[in-house]
Each structure stands twice: as structure tokens, then as C-alpha cells.
Structure 1
Amino acid sequence: MTLKEIAQEAGVSISTVSRVINNKGTNAASQEVRDRIWEIVRRTGYSPNTAARNLKTGQNSEHASPRSRSIACIFARTQEPMKDAFFSTLARGIEQEAFKHNYVVKYIITSLEINNPATFRLVSDNQVDGAAVLGRCDKQMLRFLKKYFNSVVYSGLNEIQANYDQIICDGRQAAVVAVSELQNLGHSKIAYIGETSNEIRFNGYCDAMNAKTLPVLRDYIVNTPMTSGGGYQGAKKLLNKSKDFTAVFCPNDITAIGVMKALQEHGLKIPSDVSIISIDDIDLVQYITPMLTTIHVPITEMGQVAAKILIDRIEGGHHLPMKVNMPFYLAARESTGPSRKKHVLSQV
């Protein structure tokens, strides 16, 4: 497979393919085109080093010599990873960095597939050099990893209790910063919409409320899937339970987008009636109205660092588990504002 062949299959120019696979940023092509190009790269096992050797020696790609080494991306939290903005961005960071080192992300495995015999055969019959695990693992996933992979790196917002390399952006502390921002704006009646079980961002919400001796009220908490649909339904449940909250903290942007839609349909204005803040800073949040205030997580960089650490382990560069903590910061935009002294929810 050559750049020209990838370009023909993707329906774009050779220069566009080159910009995308050499990580020239989001301006290289649209998200749809970037995804299409990387799918072809993953499927065909295209390698820049092999392509360069072939060009130098005059070989046809059909007769390429050494194989690219391969990595599996295992999505522990989502069944449709390419539709999840956070995890797909994380995976692209891994893919881009791995590609520079002559590694290809050739296998995508979701949590639903780890008990599928076909998955066992795939991993056993093919030379998979390592695995990048994206999202919090359960015990079943950890057993799968231990059985089939010698080299593993984990990346996410929740630290896991396992002896693997971990690339973490501290979700608990990010939640504390987010809720503290609402408190600094004068909010004390802050609701939470998202998952609560084993979720450190919920723990961070509780930490921030307790630090100000503010009650964590059951009526202010809605346990719901961290999806746009979960956020939408969660906001409707919240409105049925409570009328006096002035702000909502969501553990991720996608949930917040669903919450915003439900509140706006209810006739509420953001942020004049209700402030909303979340965590992630996916691209989409700058293109909604109002633009979402969120904690910026360096998602692409987390993926790139994860790939570097995994490749270093595969190649014998280190043997003891490593942990890298990535920084975050508040991206203050339009969805948060001062708390109103007289709240309007009870009038709506």
C-alpha cells in the first residue's frame, strides 16, 4: 500500500494523506476524512518506514520486507469507540505517535468483545506486540489483559489498581477544580448528572462540596449514563426532583451537551438561569451555543505519551510500571456565570 493508493481509496489528494498521517494538526483535513484515512492505514498495515525503504530500493509495496509491529486498542468503556469523541481522539493520538515508530494500531477491541472466541483467536493467531487500554477497566478486562498481552499501557481519567503503565489526567482533581469554579461564582446549590458508582469525578464533586461544608443532597444527584442521551434524560429527572439548583456539574462534555438541550427545552437560559460545567474539552463544545465551560484535558497528548511508553516497554526500555500525570486547566467560556440571588427555576 502506498500513499497514492491510500489517497485513491480515501478520495483525497496525496498531500492530504501525507498531512494527516504526519500529524499536521486538525487543519490537515476534516474529521471525517482523517477518520477515513486512519481506517485505511489500520486495515492495510501501511508503514512509513516500509514505504521509504520501498521507494529507496525500487520495491513494490507487495514485496515489502519486515512487517510493521502492531498494537491493539482496547476500549474498556465504550461499545462504539469511533462515535465517542473523547476515546476516538485518544486513540488517534496513539495511532499518530505509533505510526512514527513503525507501529500500526491494527486491532480495535471493545468491552463487549473480550469474551468472544473470535477475539481470542484474533489475538492468539496474530502477532500483537502490545495493547493500549482506554478507559477504566473492570476485573474481567484485567484478566483478559493478563492472559493475552505482555505489554500494556492504560490511559484515562480514573487511575486503575493494576501493575501497568498508566497515563492519567486526574479526573478527581479536575472535578474539584470544576465545582470550585462554580462555587467561586457564588453557586452553592450545585447538581451532579452522570455516573456515580466507582466514578472518581463524582467523588471529586463530593470533595469540593464537602470542602465548603455544602450538603451533597440526593435531590441534586442523578445517576445516569455519561452520554448525550443520558445527560438529556438525567436533566429531565433532575427537574422533576428539584427546582432550586443554580448550577450543574457533568463528568464529561457529552453528558453536558445533553443536559443543556433538556434545560433549554424547559425554557431555561444558560448561564443566566443555570450554569453548566464539565470535563474533557472535546472539539464540539466550542461550536455549540453557549460555548461550554469545561476542564481542558490534553486528550491527544495523552494518547501520544501512551504510545511512547508502550513502545518503550515493548522494546525493552523499561520494566517497572510507570505512571505519568498529565496537566489540565480550566477553559472558561460561556456556559457559566454568577449565581442569581433570586432563582427562577421554581417559576418555570
Structure 2
Amino acid sequence: MSIKKIAEMAGVSVSTAGRVLSDPNHRCLSEDVRRRILQAAREIDYVPNEAARNLKSGNTGGRKIYYIDILLTRVVSEENDPFFSEMLRLTELEIRRNNCIVSNIWYCSQLSDEKYCMSEDPERDIAELYKSAERHSDGLIIIGKCCDKALKAVKRHEKNIVSINRNSTNYEVDEVLCDGRKVALTAIDQLVKCGHSRIGYVGSCHNEARFSGYQEAMTRYRFESDLDYIFDTTPDEENGFRAMEYFLKQNSPPTGIYCANDILAVGMIKCLNKRRTKHYSPAIVSSDDIAEGQFTKPMLTTVSLPKGEMVRFALMLLLDRITGGHKTVSRLEMEGTLIVRESCFPLSKYSEPEYFI
């Protein structure tokens, strides 16, 4: 009955609701349809099988059902960056697979902003989140970078925490890490293999692992580090568009660019398509491997994060801590995988590709 109820609330068929709730990668005709289905599932505390529903109704048989909060720190909504939308869907699915309930989903992008956390008190933001919560949860999953000051404030409200991240928490809380520094090194190695030495960077710079990896790679290869090749920005498509407009104005722009996020690269490609420029078509490598990156032309070369595995191990760590299985802070580190597509090409073909989406 739960899926039927969700389908009625979302105004879709039962089969559509079932596919969205069972497969986080299912492509809907409309992203709004997916959001309506997931929102309906949250509103009725949907769990995917009869045993879990019995737990929820009180027929526990000695077992306990756990309520899990999710905090996304890089975005103000899941619409800003498809990477976080994908991570949220995977996390919700994994929580339900483990007969747990998604309690609250919070967006608090300022908690990833180092400048904000230094000048303001993030404790107020976090206290407001917990004040608005309808029920007490058993644990919290943080998706995205959380500044040290903010993370310490979160710990004053929550005992059981796991972080899914590309920037380490330095053993402040349990975490599943795909090291952004190594991701950047992998991406730039690919650009170097293609003959590029004038390499730019687009993404966040302040206390950011991927930017540290970019700097390390430039030093390692003894390339000149040109400040004009660095575009400091937050990840969304509009900022990627702005970044490419910035490079188009330069007399000698980078021939290769590492984008910290796929969504930035998508914006850059859209800018090149709109401007229809003939004199400048840089090679681009990004990271995240969002679905949209496979539908650009040229398709994005990217460093794929093992998103499903990161989510699965994160929930394992969290549930183990909740049940007293471990007390010491633990870290699981996972490797990114380079996926070579069309957007990273040899320097000899520097101006040949046509860019459009």
C-alpha cells in the first residue's frame, strides 16, 4: 500500500513510483516527477518491505528501527548540482534497504564556506536545524565538506555521525573519503599525457583538497603556475559558464582545464556552444561522473567517484557506531576512477572539437 499511496500523492503510476524508489539511476521523463515521488516517500516515512513496515508500526520482534538525518553542505537544494542529487537518492535508497527511516533532509551550504565559518557562528545555523526537526534521530550522514568549526558544532548536537566527503575531517568523525587531492592528480595526469602544460583550474580554492591536488601537480611537473588560469568559484552550471567567459577574454588561455566538478564543466561547454568560438576549444577533465556528463558533446572525461559504495560503507559505519560496534573514529578511503571520453584530447587537436549540448 505504501508505493500506491506515494504514487497517488505524486500523481504518477505505481510502476513509475516503484522504479524511482528502487533504482536511484532511473531516468524519469521529468526531474520534477522524481522529486515529487521522493518527497511523498519522505512524508509518509516510506520503507521498502513488509518487515520494515512492521517494525515501524511497533511489531518489532525485539528489533529496533533507526531514524537517520541527512545533511548536505555544498548546495542550497539538490537542483544546484546533480552530483548531490545523485548522492541523496543513493543515500535514501540505502537507508531504506537497511530498514531505517529518513528522518530529516537538511541543506546548509554555508557550513562548507570557510570564510563564513570564520566570521560567523555556525552553531546558530545548526541549532536552528535541530530546533525545526520533528523527531530525534539516531544518527546523521553528512554529504559534502563541513568546515572544522561547523563540524565541532554539529557534534554538540549529534553523537553518531559519518561524513561522505572529498575533504577529510581529519578524524573528527567517522568518514568515507574519496580524496579530492588524488582525484585532481589523476585528472591532471591525463591532461599531461595529452601534451598539455598550460593547465587551468575551475572550482573552490580555499582549504579545498582538489585545489591542493592541482597545485601539487603543477609543482610536480614544474609547470608555471599562472594565477590567471585559476577561477575560484562554487559548483553550479552558471558559474561554469562564467568561468569559460573569463578564459575566452584572455590572450593566452590554458589549453587544458581541470574542473573540480562536472556541473562546472557542463556550464563551460554550454558557453563554448553559445559563443560558437573557433579560436579556443580547450581540453577539459572534470570529476564526479554525473549522468549529464555522458550527454554533452564532446562527452566529458571525468574522474568517477564510487558513489554507491561510498554511501553503502558510510551507512555500515554509522549503524555500527549506533549499535556500539566501534568507538574509535574510523576512516574508509576509496579510489576514484578515470573515465576517458572525448573532452580531453591531445594538444595537437587543440582547436578542433565542436562543443554543444
- TM band (smaller chain): 0.7 to 0.9
1:58 aligned partner: none
1:163 aligned partner: 172
TM-score (structure 2 length as normaliser): 0.84
- Out of 202, 217, 229, the residue aligned to residue 211 of structure 2 is 202
How many residues in Structure 1 have an aligned counterpart in Structure 2?
A: 335
Contact 1:219 1:242 in 2 (8 A): no
* SS at structure 2 position matched to 1:40: helix
> In 2, distance between residues paired with 1:259 and 1:85?
16
2:36 aligned partner: 36
* SS at structure 1 position matched to 2:71: strand
- Out of 169, 172, 180, the residue aligned to residue 189 of structure 2 is 180
Letter in 2 for 1:71: I
* SS at structure 1 position matched to 2:190: helix
- 1:293 to partner: Cα distance: 0.9
- Out of 284, 287, 296, the residue aligned to residue 279 of structure 1 is 287
- 1:47 to partner: Cα distance: 2.6
Give structure 2 stretches of 5+ with no counterpart. Answer: 111-121, 353-357
1:96 aligned partner: 93
2:262 aligned partner: 253
- 1:122 to partner: Cα distance: 3.3
* SS at structure 2 position matched to 1:48: coil
2:202 aligned partner: 193
- Out of 103, 107, 119, the residue aligned to residue 104 of structure 2 is 107
> In 2, distance between residues paired with 1:315 and 1:342?
56
Contact 1:93 1:301 in 2 (8 A): no
2:241 aligned partner: 232
- 1:29 to partner: Cα distance: 5.2
> In 1, distance between residues paired with 2:27 and 2:287?
26
1:14 aligned partner: 14
Structure 1 residues 313 and 291, CA gap change in structure 2 (3 angstroms): same
Letter in 1 for 2:341: R
* SS at structure 2 position matched to 1:290: coil
Contact 2:52 2:99 in 1 (8 A): no
Letter in 2 for 1:167: V
1:26 to 2:25 alignment: yes
- Out of 314, 324, 328, the residue aligned to residue 320 of structure 1 is 328
- Out of 320, 331, 339, the residue aligned to residue 339 of structure 2 is 331
* SS at structure 1 position matched to 2:201: strand
> In 2, distance between residues paired with 1:43 and 1:114?
27
Structural RMSD (CA): 2.8
Contact 1:50 1:65 in 2 (8 A): no
Structure 1 residues 268 and 10, CA gap change in structure 2 (3 angstroms): same
Contact 1:7 1:14 in 2 (8 A): yes
2:47 aligned partner: 47
Residue deviations 1:143-190, cap 9 Å, x none? 331111110000011112243111111111111111111111111111
* SS at structure 1 position matched to 2:124: coil
* SS at structure 2 position matched to 1:115: helix
Contact 2:144 2:166 in 1 (8 A): yes
Identity %: 33
TM-score (structure 1 length as normaliser): 0.86
Letter in 2 for 1:36: R
Give structure 1 stretches of 5+ with no counterpart. Answer: 56-60
